[in-house]
Amino acid sequence: ASFSSRTGAEMDWLSLTLTTVLILVLYVIRLSRLRKTRIPRDAKLPPVPPATPLIGHAEYRREHFFATTAIEWAKSYGHTFRVKLGFTEIVIVNDYDAIERLFARDELLCRSKAWRLYGLSVGFENLMSTAIGFFQAGSAGVPTFMHWHMLHFALRADSLQAEVQAEIDRVIGPDRRPAWEDRRKMPLTMGVLWEMLRWKSITPLSVPRR
C-alpha cells in the first residue's frame, strides 16, 4: 500500500509538471505568432540592447532608469531604441526633436486622445453577472470533490467505506434524516471529509498537501 501511494504521488507530480511545461510552451508559441502577425516583415524596427532571455531588460524597472541607463543606451544605439520586458517591447525616444516629429504624425496610435470621465455605474447586468460568478465559484468544485470521494470509497469498500457506513447507521439509523448536530457524534465520517479536501485538491493545477 505504501509503494502504491508513493507511486501515485509521483505520478501526480509528474503529470502536474508536464502540464505546466506544456502550458508554458503553448503560451510562448502563441505570443510569438501574435507578434509576427502584428509587425510587418518589411518594418524597420529600432535597435535593441542586449537583454536577458524571457526576462528582458531588468534595468527598465530601476528607479533612475531614464536618467542613467537610457541616456547611456541612447549614446550607443541612437535616440530611438527598443526595450524588452518579457514578451512586451517598448520603444523609447530620447530626443526632443524626434519626439516632436513623432507625436505630430497621424499614424501614431498611442498618442493622447480626447479624454472624458466615464463615471461610476452599477447596473442590473453587473449585479447579475456578479451573482452568477459567486454561484459558479461556489458550486464548481462540489462534483469533483464528490467524484474523488466515490473513487476513494470504491478502492476501500471492505475497510474505509464499511467503517463509515457503520458509523452512519449507528448514529443516524434508517428511520430519520441526518441533522447538522450529528457531525459531533461522527468523528470518522468528518475526518474522511476533511482528509479528502486535503489529499485531493479540487483546483486544476494545485498539488496534494502533506
Q: Is the pLDDT of residue 183 over 80?
A: yes
Any domain includes 146: yes
Give per-residue pLDDT as tens, 77-132: 888 888 988 878 888 888 888 888 777 766 665 655 665 655 555 555 667 777 77
Residue 209: inside a domain = no
Q: Are residues 137 and 100 in the same domain?
A: no
> Under DSSP, is residue 162 helix (H, G, I), strand (E, B) or coil?
helix
Looking at the fold, whether 138 and 171 belong to one and the same domain comes out as yes
* Residue 37 and residue 49 in one domain: no
Residue 167: per-residue pLDDT: 94
Same domain, 39 and 49: no
∠ CA 110-112-114, nearest 5°, is 130
Last residue of a domain, one of 86, 115, 144: 115
pLDDT, residue 185, reads 94
For residue 16, give its domain range.
1-44
Q: By mean pLDDT, which of 36-40, 41-45, 146-150 is the weakest?
A: 36-40
| One domain for residues 50 and 37 | no
Q: Do residues 36 and 91 share a domain?
A: no
Q: What is the count of structural domains for the chain?
A: 3
Q: Domain boundary residue among 115, 138, 167?
A: 115
Say if 182 falls within a structural domain: yes
Task: State how far the Cα of 155 lies from the Cα of 4, in Å rounded to an integer.
Answer: 12
Q: What is the DSSP letter of 203?
A: S
In the beta sheet, which residues pair with residue 52?
56
The verdict on 105 and 166 lying in the same domain is: no
CA dihedral 153, 158, 163, 165 (to 10 degrees): 70
Q: Does 52 fall in a domain?
A: yes
3-state DSSP of 32-79: HHHHHHHCCCCCCCCCCCCCECCCECHHHHCCCCCCCHHHHHHHHHCC
In a domain, 26, yes or no: yes
Residue 121 lies in a domain: no
Q: Is the pTM of this model over 0.85?
A: no
Q: Residue 205 falls within a domain, yes or no?
A: no
Residue-wise over 140-178: b if at least 16 C-beta within 10 A, else e? eeeeeeeebeeebbeeeeeeebeebeebbeeebeeeeee
**Domain shared by 40 and 50, yes or no:** no
* Cβ neighbours around 26 below 10 Å, total: 10
Task: Judge contact between 145 and 202, C-beta under 8 A.
Answer: yes
Terminal Cα distance for the chain, rounded: 17
Give the end of a domain, one of 87, 115, 143: 115
- Give the pLDDT score at 1: 46
Residue 148 domain flag? yes
